[in-house]
Amino acid sequence: MYKINAIGKACPLPVIETKKALKEHDVVETLVDNEIATQNLKKMADQLGYIYQMEPTGDNYNVVIAKGNQDLVELTDLEEVQEVATTDDYVVVIDTNVMGRGSDDLGKNLLKMFIYSLTEQDVLPKQVIFYNGGVSLVTKESDSLEDLQTLAEQGVEIYACGACLNFFELTEQVAIGEITNMYRIVEMMRQAPKVVKP
């Protein structure tokens, strides 16, 4: 059994680490310190058709996820599913440096985790487009720069609105991606089968 200590790690990190481990191990035990993490791990196990067990241990929770009846699916079938999944193009658009409304501090953390979570998806976006306040995320000072570089290295195209960069006086600070215009942004969004906006 492969063990993960996810104490102190905010979601979705326990889910991401467990899902990664399940690619190489049949049974994964994840130690978490909050009930939300146990619920998210259960949802992941249910989606994958895996066995889920949870046991409280003091202030923490021991979650064990085991692969179910894997011999029902042949390896060739899995390869075909993966091939189909990679053609599922989508575009992500980010128009602010926070995610959601309420606390800007929380919103910044949520958006940073959203971009990190993109790097861990089985199917990556075709493009990530930044405009308005979102353009600050492609600059040298961005907390998400490393994750955006990871996406770019895996073939994801990164774009930032030139007029927006000029407005915020950030053009000289751009550290990743290509500067583009609103006409091209509309074109990319119109042609995308799906547009995801955090």
Q: What is the CATH number of domain 85-196?
A: 3.40.1260.10
pLDDT reading at 65 higher than 90:
yes
d(CA 35, CA 155): 36
SS3 (DSSP) at 44: helix
What pLDDT score does 134 carry?
A: 97
What pLDDT score does 181 carry?
A: 92
- Nearest Cα neighbor of 10 from 125, 117, 144, 120 is 117
pLDDT confidence bin for 82, thresholds 50/70/90: very low
pLDDT tens per residue across span 127-176: 999 999 999 999 999 999 999 999 999 999 999 999 999 999 999 999 99
Average pLDDT, the chain: 87
What pLDDT score does 5 carry?
A: 94
What does the domain layout of the chain look like in residue ranges? 2-69, 85-196
- Nearest Cα neighbor of 195 from 95, 113, 108, 101 is 95
Give long-range contacts, CB 8 A cutoff, 24+ apart: 102-111: 108/143, 109/10, 110/198, 111/137, 111/144, 111/198
What pLDDT score does 57 carry?
A: 87
pLDDT reading at 85 higher than 80:
no
Measured between alpha carbons, how far apart are the two ends of the chain, in Å?
35
Instruction: Please check whether the two domains, 2-69 and 85-196, share a CATH topology.
Output: no
Alpha carbon distances (Å) from 165 to 149, 151, 185: 19, 21, 14
Task: List 60's β-bridge partners, or say none.
Answer: 57
CATH number 3.30.110.40 given to 2-69: yes
